Structure 1
Amino acid sequence: MKPIHALVVVSLLVGIIVSCKNPEETTPDHAGLSDWTDETHGKKADANYSVVFPQDNVNSLEIRMTKDDWTAIRADMKTLKGSDFGVGGTGGGGGGVNTTTEPRYVAVSMKFNGKEWYKVGFRLKGNSSLSSIWRAGIYKLPFRLKMDEFEDQYPAILDQRFYGFKELSMSPAFKDNSLIREKVTADIFRMAGIPAAQTAFYKVYIDFGEGLKYCGVYTMLETIEDEMLKAQFGEDKGNVYKPESNFTTFNQTQFEKKNNEDLADWSDIQATITALNAPIRTSNPVQWRTNLEKVFNVDHFIKWLAVNTTMVNWDTYGAMAHNHYLYNHSSKKLTWIPWDNNEALTSNARVQLSLAGVAASWPLIRYIADDAVYYQKYKTYVKDFNDNVFTTAKMNALFDKNTNLITPFVNGTEKEQAPYSNLTNTTSFTAALPSLKQHVVARNQAVASFVP
């Protein structure tokens, strides 16, 4: 037998080492992706909030799909919602088939500041809002972007990011003639000490297979399970849920996990619901509060409830069993995070400021209203928010800034026009700002009557 040459031995060893290398440490081959840089597209780059979520200018985003992609989306939506695009009118509450199945992703090209992001996952999102816009045949649709959705099919985009962000949500301001409610409500929550997703305005152009069309001003939101937790909570290892529950009983299907999916552990949610609905609530309220606070961030929820009810944000818990997240913080316990605020700051109050009339089917609110200690804390938070954050001066400044920012792209140098806008006409946009300001005055007066 001939001796094995030393160079061959070394080559074999190198091959073995490379084959055993952790897949996460493998550097993807970005050959052919001319715009790819670690800073703009790479996973290791820090989330660049100043670029992705600017507060003083409106970014532009171009999305291009093929005609076949649009046909596939239409076929998928017909299955999910029971209607093809533009069939069925506005449909009131949305109509169509009630389903929790998410629309399918298609791979699109995305351009920003002259750079391309490749094979980005694009899917429609939403329930009644999506159904209504879809059936009305309006192209300004709510959608979600996932940068690495198609990395298995296209290994060159392994761990693709958008300046550090993996997923982004795009809100078309449905039922919001001001086009700013989604953004300013998130701002107001954070001003009041309630963590909420960062937002920014974007001019969006979409090619549905027949050329780019201007689809107006969107609000971009970071997704809760992406960078938001690290940025605002300092950690992101705990369970993240997107509930569809009123918290009377535990049903696992009503608590969708957005991370840690492989761990079959809902014990944090189960413990919260058990403590909340324990019979000692009335016989031993001190022990009931102690047990609940061990697993649920009650103080934070009461503050959220005070802020949410004062400014009026009806499309959430208390009227609907959705539009919030829960994060199980290592020390602060299960913590409430607001989401989907496009119908905030309206007169459509489903929960009275006094919390009177809230049914027992909404125990997180009803039991707080029934407990003297918690109710007093709620009243204190209402007054503090009203006096120090939700003032006419601060809100007028916030509303004016954001309205002025987007006006040139709504009815100025660029205009929102049918069928690429959810506005009835630009007059409705102009009339929305005074209405928002008057809403704050009315709520200030309501608070003065409730907690003089």
Structure 2
Amino acid sequence: MIKYKFFILLIIGVILMGCRDEDALNENNDDDTEESVTNPADNPDYSDWTVETHSNSAALNYDVVFAQDTVKRFDIIISSSNWSTMQSDLAANLGSTSGPGGGGPGGGGNNLATSDYDPVWVPCSFKYNNTEWYHVGVRFKGNSSLQSAYQSGNGKLSFKLDFDEFEDDYPTIKNQRFYGFKKLHINNNYNDASLMRDKVAADLFRKFGLIAAQTSFCELYVDNGSGPEYYGLYTIIEEVSNTVIATQTGDDSGNLYKPDGTAASFANGTYNDDEMVKKNNEDLNDYSDVKALYDVINSSDRTSNTETWKTNLENVLDVDVFLKWLAANTVIQNWDTYGRMTHNFYLYNNHNTNLLNWIPWDNNEALQYGKNGGALSFSMSEVGSSWPLISYLIAIPEYNTIYENYLNEFINTVFIPSELSSIYDSYYNLLKEFAYNERSGYTYIGSDSNFDAAVDELKAHVTERNNAVINYLQ
């Protein structure tokens, strides 16, 4: 009898276990069903969603986003209320004015743009090639250029896009991408009548073996409630923290800094963690690598024990990369960066080398003569201790020789007049239609002939700078 009862209980147990397993299986099936319901491709409100165009599982498509032989059309559709939010944010931070972009000629309040000001994000619909991306984050971008354009009444402002900025508000679009890219900069070619300096400078740096963002062109239309308006010809810039580091170094785990402010000079007594703006790894709160660079560059070993100083410097900074950038940057006459201004560069701690790499950024003021006192001279004789990464390195004969060798290499392998002239002609033909169509209040081009003349100046500039390097090195 006991055995019989045990047998009955065993059967009941098996039945209960089977029911429990079936419930578990049903729960898993419910999860799968829920996942399929929230798949954007299955939602009629997100009918344009495909893996290739929208998913973060898609490979980065440089051939589409950074195609070199075409001008893409981008459309940004922002609700009138969100546009008002963006304008109010500009007015609160840059001064209340009136005009196409919020500013008016000669206008502006008492507020000044600072490196601490990040314009407000709002959601928009973004369209390209008859395809829509949903609830994309958009904001204005820039510091002094944003302030200057806004307060002068120029509506051609720069934008930044983040394709999953609002994923918490719209979980269905989680990890939305634009052909694999999370973020893009849509730069307005500020104060550049040729519309191509930002692009060409970045391309030259990369061709010379330096890390620099990929670039391409787009015509931008913005609809803020009254239909699409042509905002002009823009340059698309790759986001350094998002894809540049990973694709060009093979490692994106190291600290990435975008120094901005007095500390970005690395001059003695200026160091400040807050101005060594971290673009990743913020939770680690570790600035030891960039602080080590500051400590070494200002160490007394520089004058008392030079070889030790050099060894310590080369253990924290990729000195060769810095000197290579310095040579190229000086040849192309880029004044709006280190040596003149305390911004517009990144430092990346490349874990493949455990060295800080110098990365140029924001090159729209390059490739021109004399503005704001001009770029640095080839000799760097005017550069003092306020820019120690230049003055202290150039004072070392070995480093100065490396720098001068790079001057010569740059004009013979990259900055070649005949090749650049052909590139400028190609871009002129590509951009002319869009440049001529730019409209008053949304342009930095005074006239069609102004665009033509600016391209001719670029051609003359490359020849003049090549000759200047040759004369300096004789």
Q: Tell me if structure 2 keeps the 8 A contact 1:108–1:118.
A: yes
- Note the alpha carbon deviations across 1:296-325, whole angstroms, 9 max, x for none: 111000000000001101100011110011
Give the aligned partner of residue 317 of structure 1: 338
Give the SS at the match of 1:325.
strand
The answer to whether the 8 A contact 1:94-1:131 is kept is no
- 1:227-246 alignment to 2 at 5 Å? 227-244=243-260, 245-246=264-265
- What residue number does 2:213 align with? 197
Quick check: 2:97–2:108 contact (8 Å CA) kept in 1?
no
Which one of 418, 443, 449 corresponds to residue 465 of structure 2?
443
Relative to structure 2, which stretch is displaced further, 192-201 or 399-408? 399-408
Amino acid in the other structure paired with 2:117:
T
| Change beyond 3 A, Cα 1:290–1:211 | same
Report what 1:307 is aligned to: 328
* Match in the other structure for 2:20: 9
Residue 11 to residue 319, structure 1, CA distance change in 2 (3 Å)? farther
In 2, are the aligned partners of 1:64 and 1:206 still within 8 Å (CA)? yes
Is the Cα contact below 8 Å between 1:90 and 1:133 reproduced in 2? no
Instruction: Tell me the secondary structure at the aligned position of residue 185 of structure 2.
Output: strand
- Partners of 1:346 and 1:90 in 2: how far apart? 26
In the TM superposition, what are the counterparts of 1:48-447 in structure 2 within 5 Å?
48-86=61-99, 89=104, 96-99=111-114, 100-244=116-260, 245-248=264-267, 249-332=270-353, 333-348=355-370, 349-411=374-436, 415-447=437-469
Which residue of structure 1 lines up, in the alignment, with residue 3 of structure 2? none
Deviation at 1:243, TM superposition (A): 0.7
Task: Select the structure of larger CA radius of gyration.
Answer: 2
- Structure 1 residues 152 and 399, CA gap change in structure 2 (3 angstroms): same
Comparing 417-426 with 180-189, greater Cα deviation is found at 417-426
Q: Runs of 4+ in structure 1 displaced over 4 angstroms?
A: 2-8, 14-21, 25-28, 87-95
What SS does the aligned partner of 1:306 have?
helix
Deviates more, 1:96-105 or 1:259-268: 96-105
Q: What secondary structure does 2:315 align onto?
A: helix
SS at match of 2:229: strand
Query: TM-score scaled by structure 1?
Result: 0.93
| SS of equivalent residue, structure 2 residue 410 | helix
Report the alpha carbon displacement of residue 195 of structure 1 after superposing the two structures with TM.
1.6
Tell whether the 8 Å contact from 1:207 to 1:213 is kept in structure 2 after alignment. Answer: yes
For residues 340-379 of structure 1, what are the alpha-carbon distances to aligned partners after superposition, in whole Å with 9 as ceiling and x for unaligned? Answer: 0001001122311111111211110111121111111111
Q: CA 1:238 to 1:93, structure 2 compared with 1: closer, same or farther past 3 Å?
A: farther
Aligned residues of 2:104 and 2:153 also touching (Cα < 8 A): yes
Deviation of 1:236 (Å): 1.0
Give me the whole-angstrom Cα distance separating, in 2, the residues matched to 1:62 and 1:82. 28
* Contact 1:74–1:85 (CA under 8 A) maintained in structure 2: no
Contact 1:108 1:119 in 2 (8 A): yes
User: What whole-Å deviation, never above 9, does each CA across 1:78-101 have from its counterpart, x for those lacking one?
Assistant: 111122343664559997423322
Check the 8 A contact 2:163/2:176 in 1, yes or no: yes
8 A contact 1:40–1:164 mirrored in 2: yes
Distance 1:93 1:71 in 2: 18
* Alpha-carbon distance in structure 2 between the residues aligned to 1:256 and 1:104: 19
Q: 1:387 Cα shift? A: 2.2
User: Residues 154 and 367 (structure 1 numbering): CA distance in 2 closer, same or farther, change over 3 Å?
Assistant: same
* CA distance in structure 1 between the partners assigned to 2:107 and 2:294 by the alignment: 34
Tell me the secondary structure at the aligned position of residue 262 of structure 1.
Answer: helix
The 1-side partners of 2:258 and 2:224 are apart by: 30
Distance 1:108 1:88 in 2: 22
Distance 1:271 1:65 in 2: 45
Uncovered stretches (5+) of structure 2, i.e. residues with no partner? 1-11
Comparing both structures, which one devotes a greater share of its residues to helix?
A: 2
Determine helix, strand or coil for the equivalent of 1:256: coil
- Between 1:325-334 and 1:58-67, the stretch displaced more is 325-334
Output the CA distance in 1 between the equivalents of 2:109 and 2:29.
54
Deviates more, 1:149-158 or 1:281-290: 281-290
- Identity rate, percent: 43
One-letter amino acid of the structure 1 residue matched with residue 195 of structure 2: L
Q: Separation in 1 of the partners of 2:238 and 2:38?
A: 25
CA change 1:419–1:45 in 2 (3 A) is same
CA shift in 2, pair 1:264/1:19, >3 Å:
farther
For residues 103-150 of structure 1, give each alpha carbon's deviation from its aligned partner in whole angstroms, at most 9, with x where no partner exists. Answer: 000100000111100000000000111111112222211110000000
Inter-partner Cα distance in structure 2 for 1:283 and 1:20: 68
Work out whether residues 107 and 151 of structure 2, in 8 Å CA contact, stay in contact via their aligned partners in 1.
no
- Structure 1 residue 206 displacement after superposition: 0.7
Does the CA contact (< 8 Å) of 1:90 and 1:132 recur in 2? Answer: no
Change (3 A) 1:45 1:247: same
2:429 and 2:151 map into 1 onto residues whose CA distance is 31
Aligned length: 446
Residues 55 and 93 from structure 1, CA distance in 2 versus in 1: closer, same or farther, beyond 3 angstroms?
farther
Q: CA RMSD in A?
A: 2.4
Q: What's the TM-score, normalizing by structure 2? A: 0.89
Which among 32, 39, 57 is matched to residue 29 of structure 1?
39
Over residues 135-192 of structure 1, what are the superposed CA-to-partner deviations in whole Å (9 max), with x where a residue is unaligned?
2222211110000000000111100000000000011111100000011111111111
